[in-house]
Structure 1
Amino acid sequence: MSLSQILPLSTCPGLSLTALAPMQDVTDLHFMSVLAHYGCPDYFFTEYFRVHPSSTLNKKILRSITENTTGRPVFAQLIGESIPDLVRIARELSHYPVAGIDLNLGCPAPRVYRKNVGGGLLRDPEQVKRILSELREAVAGRLTVKMRLGFDNTDHFDRLLDLINLCDINLLSLHGRTVKEKYHSAVHYDLIAHAVQRVRCPVLANGNVTSATSALSILEMTGAAGVMIGRAAIRNPWIFQQIRQALNGQPVSGVPLSAVHDYIERLRQTQTASMVPERARVSHMKMYLNFIAQSVDVAGAFLREMRQARTETELLAVCARHLLSNPETEFALEPYPGLVARPTCETPQDCCA
């Protein structure tokens, strides 16, 4: 897909953009394909390509670009600090049908930022300037950035925003928390609104976009060009379709639990599932179910029983019991209060938007 065929990255009356946030171990080709069945976002972003002196293009991540049949543009995300290697990988990716190159300046996982990449780079605006300047020189197409407000405070925030302008960045996806705040604090939508006023490029508001209702409220508060959604899209793959309905003044479609069961089955049916040990399959499904379960029942019985399941048979039985016993019961559009997702591995918790 050529850049001229991509939806313009500009604000237009009545147009609000949606994007699926890049999430490690989640936003692969399979998840994008499953999501497309329920209503695509306007843009996809890949898991990050790790960039270092010996790095090559990750073939699994590359498939989400080269084999993508969703009909939506896909941005390739990079994470790293070695400027020659970031330039090298960006140029290699430019030979593939990418919508643009995205730089990760926001990952809050300690094992990531301690290497001075992702959110760790926000401590050093001068290094950010060097990286963005070199990438801008090397990337002929769109260059975009996903970042947070700062590392442990917002002292450098305006300086970072000015770098977005200086380096002619085409799109800024802004998570309204610092790296150290991870996902625990309130989202600072006022600072996203400040960024919207300060930078020349469109801004996608990211952080606690949990439903169509919250998306419209966040768009009104921030004036952003659109929203980027991460973990809420794992819980509710209908969210992008529902946002479009709300923006058009239409009723937001409800989702019966039987449809949620269908969604779980689609997640489970990967091409490689039969080659993966059962324990790993169960753990992988629990990664998704930790989020989905937040909207199944207010008491959290599904969440508890799902976590206790040890075999695939037990896990599927829990799903059938809670989702098919009363299949027309509606799935909650917002997570039930008090039901907290605790993924089975560090990455989705720490690197999901």
Structure 2
Amino acid sequence: MSQVSLPESFHKDLPLTALAPMQDVTNLWFMRVIAHYGSPDYFFTEYFRVNETSRLNPGILSAITENDTGRPVFAQMIGESIPDLVRTAKELCGYNIAGVDLNMGCPAPRIYRKKAGGGLLLSPKKVDRILAELRQAVCDRPLTVKMRVGFENTDTFYEILDIINRHNIDLLSLHGRTVKDMYHGAVKYDLIAEAVKRVHCPVLANGNINSATTAISVLAHTGAAGVMVGRWAIGNPWLFNQIRQALRGEPLTPVPLVEVRNYIDRLWQTPTAPNVPERARLGNLKMFLNYIALSVDAEGHFLRLMRQTQTEVEMFKLCDRFLLTDMTKTLALAPAI
């Protein structure tokens, strides 16, 4: 069975960009927010949990059915029960999806202990069976995989890459850390480069793509078909546009801090905001601001004070103080790694 062609990139002359799937972040609303600042080529949903009793989560499904960003959306599944993964994949193919993505990298202990997500990397034979069945079920759409370079070490890495080839996977998103690394430590871009050489499908390099400069150096180092960006796009939603500017050799447009202040307003105005208590809304905003704060103030004062705020009024006074007092200031760009 030959590979299925991927959705055409919006920027045909450039390497691909994708927003990484992030649980409780990459919902329809956040995809729309990102699209406002410059969409990636591909979106991926939060994962649909798959087990014997699972049904398609309506909230996650809306990121597919109501998506008006004009970009392809891949539906991600997480689970290890083969019949249920097949059932869910077939159901998902009834919707306007760009493809079905299998999560083989989630580092959350509650997931990998159930032998799902990153836990699958411990069992290449199981991966082989899953991908064989999914390839049969998803025959007219791309079947894609998101994984890490291993569980605790990279012992199964090459074996799993060969399994990916055997089942004609159409796209591999590879995070260059192990499951046990979580989000810490150096990203093994050398192993992403090895994967690029070994697999027959395009590879998206993932892991600490914190700036356009980093994206350029990672693409050059790995030979990957594109980059997948996760947490750093929360802190800088302009990043996909900046990556495209850098790829074209154009100077990066600086982002005035007043624009960052507008972005924070947008993050505050979630669709469910009127029904959510202020404390919960603040908690949600702080989760996003954890990624933004150090680009605004590298010394960490904004981060520390932001975490201490108790009310909406306190929070926005603080934001105004750091973001609106000097109109010449711009968002700091993370240096290349």
TM-score by length of 1: 0.91
- Give distance in 2, aligned partners of 1:169 and 1:336: 31
1:62 corresponding residue in structure 2: 61
TM-superposed CA distance for 1:6, in Å, is 2.5
1:173 corresponding residue in structure 2: 173
Go from structure 1 to structure 2 and tell me whether the alpha carbon gap of 1:189 and 1:221 turns closer, same or farther (over 3 Å shift).
same
In structure 1, the residue corresponding to 2:95 is in which secondary structure?
coil
2:130 corresponding residue in structure 1: 131
2:161 corresponding residue in structure 1: 161
TM-superposed CA distance for 1:328, in Å, is 2.8
TM-superposed CA distance for 1:4, in Å, is 7.8
1:330 corresponding residue in structure 2: 330
1:343 corresponding residue in structure 2: none
Q: Which amino acid aligns with 2:91?
A: E
TM-superposed CA distance for 1:98, in Å, is 0.3
Go from structure 1 to structure 2 and tell me whether the alpha carbon gap of 1:38 and 1:101 turns closer, same or farther (over 3 Å shift).
same
Q: Is the 8 A contact 1:105 1:122 kept in 2?
A: yes
Q: Please, which moves more after superposition, 96-105 or 316-325?
A: 316-325
Deviation readout 1:309-344 (Å, 9 max, x if unpaired): 01122111111111111133011011799xxxxxxx
Go from structure 1 to structure 2 and tell me whether the alpha carbon gap of 1:182 and 1:34 turns closer, same or farther (over 3 Å shift).
same
TM-superposed CA distance for 1:260, in Å, is 0.2
- Give distance in 2, aligned partners of 1:336 and 1:217: 8
In structure 2, the residue corresponding to 1:233 is in which secondary structure?
helix
TM-superposed CA distance for 1:203, in Å, is 0.2
2:266 corresponding residue in structure 1: 266
2:7 corresponding residue in structure 1: 6
Q: Is the 8 A contact 1:294 1:336 kept in 2?
A: no
Q: Is the 8 A contact 2:47 2:103 kept in 1?
A: yes
Q: Please, which moves more after superposition, 269-278 or 211-220?
A: 269-278
In structure 1, the residue corresponding to 2:146 is in which secondary structure?
strand
Q: Which amino acid aligns with 2:111?
A: V
Deviation readout 1:127-161 (Å, 9 max, x if unpaired): 01111110000002110000000100111111000
Residue 72 (str. 1) matches residue 76 (str. 2) = no
Q: Percent identity, aligned pairs only?
A: 64
In structure 2, the residue corresponding to 1:81 is in which secondary structure?
coil
Q: Which amino acid aligns with 1:87?
A: V
Residue ranges of structure 1 left out of the alignment (5+ in a row): 338-353
Q: Is the 8 A contact 2:172 2:203 kept in 1?
A: yes
* Mapping of residues 147-296 of structure 1, within 5 Å: 147-296=147-296
Deviation readout 1:216-235 (Å, 9 max, x if unpaired): 00000000000000000000
In structure 2, the residue corresponding to 1:329 is in which secondary structure?
coil
- Give distance in 1, aligned partners of 2:104 and 2:271: 32
Residue 25 (str. 1) matches residue 24 (str. 2) = yes
TM-score by length of 2: 0.96
1:82 corresponding residue in structure 2: 81
TM-superposed CA distance for 1:279, in Å, is 1.1
In structure 1, the residue corresponding to 2:22 is in which secondary structure?
coil
Higher relative contact order (CA 8 A, sep 6+): 1
Q: Is the 8 A contact 2:9 2:41 kept in 1?
A: no
Go from structure 1 to structure 2 and tell me whether the alpha carbon gap of 1:177 and 1:294 turns closer, same or farther (over 3 Å shift).
same
Report how many residues are paired. Answer: 333
Deviation readout 1:66-100 (Å, 9 max, x if unpaired): 11111000000000000111111111110110000
| Cα RMSD, aligned residues only | 1.8
1:109 corresponding residue in structure 2: 108
1:143 corresponding residue in structure 2: 143
In structure 1, the residue corresponding to 2:204 is in which secondary structure?
strand
Residue ranges of structure 2 left out of the alignment (5+ in a row): none
Q: Please, which moves more after superposition, 310-319 or 121-130?
A: 310-319
Q: Is the 8 A contact 1:295 1:336 kept in 2?
A: no
- Give distance in 1, aligned partners of 2:285 and 2:219: 32
TM-superposed CA distance for 1:198, in Å, is 0.3
In structure 2, the residue corresponding to 1:134 is in which secondary structure?
helix
Go from structure 1 to structure 2 and tell me whether the alpha carbon gap of 1:291 and 1:335 turns closer, same or farther (over 3 Å shift).
farther
In structure 2, the residue corresponding to 1:317 is in which secondary structure?
helix
Q: Which amino acid aligns with 2:271?
A: Q
- Give distance in 2, aligned partners of 1:195 and 1:335: 26
In structure 2, the residue corresponding to 1:217 is in which secondary structure?
helix
